[in-house]
Every structure is written in structure tokens, then in C-alpha cells.
Amino acid sequence: MYQKKQLLQKLKNQNEQLNDYAHLVSHDLKSSLRSLSALLTWVKEDCSEKIGEESVGNLNLMEEKIEKMDKFLEDIINYSEIGVTGLKTSTIDLNKKVDKILDSIDIPKNIKVVVKDKLPVLKADARRLRQVFQNLISNAVNFNDKEEGLVEVAVNEVEDFYVFSIKDNGSGIPLEYHEKIFEIFTTLGYHEKSTGIGLPMAKRIIELYGGKIWLESEVLKGTTFYFTLPKNKANEA
Amino acid sequence: MKKSLNILLVEDDMIEIMKFNRTISKLACPHNIVEAKNGEEALNILYKNESLPDIILLDLNMPKINGLEFLTIIRKNNDLKYIPTIILTSSNDHKDVSDCHQLGIAGYLVKPLKFTDYSESIKRVLDYWCYNEFVTA
């Protein structure tokens, strides 16, 4: 019993150390990216005429890469924190939460996002829950290839679970990728904002609450992501 | 009335200092900047100088005495604890944010990635403080 306790404490310390380490590294890398980005801007400001159009184009490409790296670091740090830092619990009105998320993501004019059902009020970690909805909704929006894109958010109650669904009419996901996309760093599209961490992050959070995530998809026609959150567990956690 | 500020910039990164100075140089209001490369240097400046800065802009991650340690020290010092201190960092870590607010800060700015965004936020922050009255020694 005593040994088990010691082992747990040791693991906990190691986890904390790893988390600190990830923070430190990502902080240093992010600082360097900020410097690079500023220097690039200045070169463009000060000598765009001297270096010519093509070189300015290359500098712009460098800037895009820097932006992507920054997003990547942000995602990695968020992902690595899940399960290491404790969950905070607060009461969340998902209707308001989802509205807020929709305000915060760039939705092109040709894509409509509809919340079909009245969503429940849950007790959970607000930040983590936002990450789940945000990642799934922004995937549905970003990868939509239709002229009139439609994304629908809905919920069903099945016994002790809420089953949420996020349905899109995008390009669909071939069956062989249905499991692979939940692995870290796997991306199917070449969207500038995708880092391959969104879905693994959603999965990790949902599983932390004892839920499941899966998808149904028809190639060219669209995809529906489903995930469950237990009513009771979400209340207690 | 709008006035120019005496600012103590505590920052160890050379390019960050360049970013700040480049931003300031394009402002209409001529601010007076004193630079310190870490918390220790900043404390020496504060202890020595009779005229204290109006505001302090403080990075968190620095060698020797880091931002949080520096903040802890000046909040306990009767002469220095009034100086409004604005955090300027690339860390949006929840613990850092809450630690700083607990110690008492006048703002927490996460450095944006793009220089133009950075410049804009600095301008706005300084513009706000230009209209403030400060405790004078």
C-alpha cells in the first residue's frame, strides 16, 4: 500500500516535471518565433523595393511558416496539458458556449453553421469542453469544399449519455482513415491552420470524461462526428 | 491631459527591445525609456534612482531575477509597490496569469506573433497610461 502510494507520487512528480519542461521549451520557441516574425516584417518594410517582388514573396512564405509553427506549438502545449493539469469544474450552458465559439472562428460566407437542438447545461471543465467543440466545428468549417457549406450541431439523449453530433456536407473521409485521424499529427487536408492535433485533443478530453468519439462518413457527401459525454460523470467530475 | 511617460522596460531579449523601440519611435508622444536586462538590473535602477518610472513593462522569463520574483519584491517595497506594472510576455500559461494578478499588476499583455499586432497593442497600452495620474515621490 505504502509502495503504491510512493509510486503514484513519483509518477505525479514526473508528470509535473514533463509539463513544466514542455512549457519551458514551447515558451522559448515561441519567443524565437516572435523575434523572427518581427525581423521579417522589418526587412519587408525597409527594403522591399531593393530585394524585388520574388524575394518579398519568399518572405511572405516564411511568415506563413512561422505562423503555422506558432499554432503548432500552441496546440502541442494544449494537448500535453490534458490530463496532467487537473480538470476544473464549472456549470456550462452549452448554448452560450457554442455561440461564443462560433463568434471566435472564421466562418466563410458560403458556410452556414446551425445549432439544431437546445443544448444541455453541463458541469465540466469549460476550457476543455470548448476545445472539443471548437476543434470539431472548425474542422467541419475549414475542410468544407461545397459551394453552400452546411454544418449542423445537434444532441440526443441516450440513457445516461448525451450524444452530440457535428455534421457537415464536406468532402467526406474514406473509411481507412476513420481511426487514423485520431492519432496525433495526422492530417488529411492541407489547410493552412491544421496541425493534426485537433482531433486527438478532442478524443483525449472526451475519454477523460468517460465518453467516446466516432464518425460516420460518405466520401464526397459529408461527415458526422459523434461523441458522448456521460450525464452523471460530467456532473460529478 | 496627455503627457509623455517615464517607462522602465525590463526585458532580456535584444530583439524584443528593438521591437519596443521601433514601436515607440513611430509615436507622436516622446516617451522616456530606461532599459533593464533582467530583474536584478531593474531593482538596481529602482533602488538607485530618485525619480521612479511612471510605469514598468515587465517580461516574465528572464535570467537571474525573473519577472515573477521581481514583481514579488517590488510589491513588498513601500516605495515601489505603487508603480503600475504591466506584464509583457509570450506565456499565456494560466498559472503565470493568475500568479501575476494575485501579486497585483496593471495589465497582462501576451505578445502577439505579428509585429504589427504587437505595435498596435503597445500603442494602445501606452496611450491609456498617458492619461493617468501617478503617485509622485
As for the ipTM of the complex, it is 0.81
CB A134 within 8 Å of CB A105: yes
Nearest to A142 by CA among A73, A71, A82, A80: A71
State mean pLDDT over B84-96: 89
User: Looking at chain A, which residue has its C-alpha nearest residue B114?
Assistant: A37
Q: Are residues A96 and A124 in the same domain?
A: yes
pLDDT in tens, B4-30: 899 999 999 999 999 999 999 988 778
Q: B93 CB near a chain A CB, below 8 Å?
A: yes
Q: Are residues A143 and A54 in the same domain?
A: no
Confidence of residue A235 (pLDDT cuts 50, 70, 90): very low
Q: What CATH number does the domain containing A98 carry? A: 3.30.565.10
Tell me the nearest-neighbour CA distance from A35 into chain B, angstroms.
Answer: 6
Per-residue pLDDT at A87: 80
| C-alpha grid cell, residue A27 | 515558451
Q: Are residues A127 and A230 in the same domain?
A: yes
Q: Would you call A70 and B113 a contact, using CB atoms and an 8 Å cutoff?
A: yes
Per-residue pLDDT at A191: 67
Q: Are residues A64 and A103 in the same domain?
A: no
Per-residue pLDDT at A129: 93
Tell me the nearest-neighbour CA distance from B117 into chain A, angstroms.
Answer: 10
pLDDT in tens, A67-78: 989 988 888 888
**Amino acid (one-letter) located at A49:** E
Average pLDDT across chain A, whole number: 88
User: Which residues, including other chains, have CB under 8 Å from residue A219's CB and lie 6 or more apart?
Assistant: A171, A172, A173, A174
pLDDT in tens, A172-219: 999 988 988 898 877 776 666 677 888 999 999 999 999 999 999 999
CA atoms in the 13 A half-sphere facing the CB of A25 = 10
Q: B6 CB near a chain A CB, below 8 Å?
A: no
The tally of domains found in chain A comes to 2
Q: Are residues A180 and A215 in the same domain?
A: yes
Nearest to A37 among B91, B94, B113 (CB): B113
In this structure, what is the dihedral angle of CA atoms A221, A216, A125, A24, given to the nearest 10 degrees? Answer: -80
Tell me the nearest-neighbour CA distance from A62 into chain B, angstroms.
Answer: 13
Q: Are residues A79 and A98 in the same domain?
A: no
> What is the domain extent for residue A78?
1-85
User: Looking at chain B, which residue has its C-alpha nearest residue A44?
Assistant: B115
Is the pLDDT assigned to residue A13 strictly greater than 90?
Answer: no
Share of chain A above pLDDT 90, in %: 52
Confidence of residue A21 (pLDDT cuts 50, 70, 90): confident
Q: Are residues A94 and A176 in the same domain?
A: yes
Nearest to B61 among A27, A34, A41 (CB): A27
CB neighbour class for A224 (10 Å; exposed up to 12, middle 13-18, buried from 19): middle
Q: Would you call B90 and A30 a contact, using CB atoms and an 8 Å cutoff?
A: yes
Give B-chain residues touching A34 at CB under 8 angstroms. Answer: 15-16, 90, 111, 113, 118
The length of chain B in residues reads 137
Q: Are residues A43 and A98 in the same domain?
A: no
- Top residue of A29, A36, A37, A39 to mutate, by most chain B CBs within 10 Å, is A37
Share of chain B above pLDDT 90, in %: 76
Is the pLDDT assigned to residue B74 strictly greater than 50?
Answer: yes
Is the pLDDT assigned to residue B124 strictly greater than 70?
Answer: yes
Q: Would you call A35 and B15 a contact, using CB atoms and an 8 Å cutoff?
A: yes
CA distance B17 to B66: 17
Q: B26 CB near a chain A CB, below 8 Å?
A: no
Q: Would you call A23 and B91 a contact, using CB atoms and an 8 Å cutoff?
A: yes
Q: What is the CATH number of domain B6-130?
A: 3.40.50.2300
Q: Are residues A132 and A70 in the same domain?
A: no
Total-model pTM = 0.74
- Top residue of B11, B12, B14, B15 to mutate, by most chain A CBs within 10 Å, is B15
- Top residue of B21, B60, B90, B117 to mutate, by most chain A CBs within 10 Å, is B90
Residue A178: CB atoms within 10 A of its CB come to 14
Per-residue pLDDT at A236: 47
Is the pLDDT assigned to residue A234 strictly greater than 60?
Answer: no
- Top residue of A26, A32, A35 to mutate, by most chain B CBs within 10 Å, is A35
Q: Are residues A171 and A200 in the same domain?
A: yes
- Tell which of A67, A85, A103 closes a domain: A85
Per-residue pLDDT at A214: 95
CA distance A9 to A2: 11
Q: Are residues A95 and A207 in the same domain?
A: yes
pLDDT in tens, A107-153: 999 999 999 999 999 888 988 999 999 999 999 998 888 999 999 99
Q: Are residues A97 and A111 in the same domain?
A: yes
Tell me the nearest-neighbour CA distance from A80 into chain B, angstroms.
Answer: 13
Per-residue pLDDT at A14: 83
Q: Would you call B13 and A23 a contact, using CB atoms and an 8 Å cutoff?
A: no
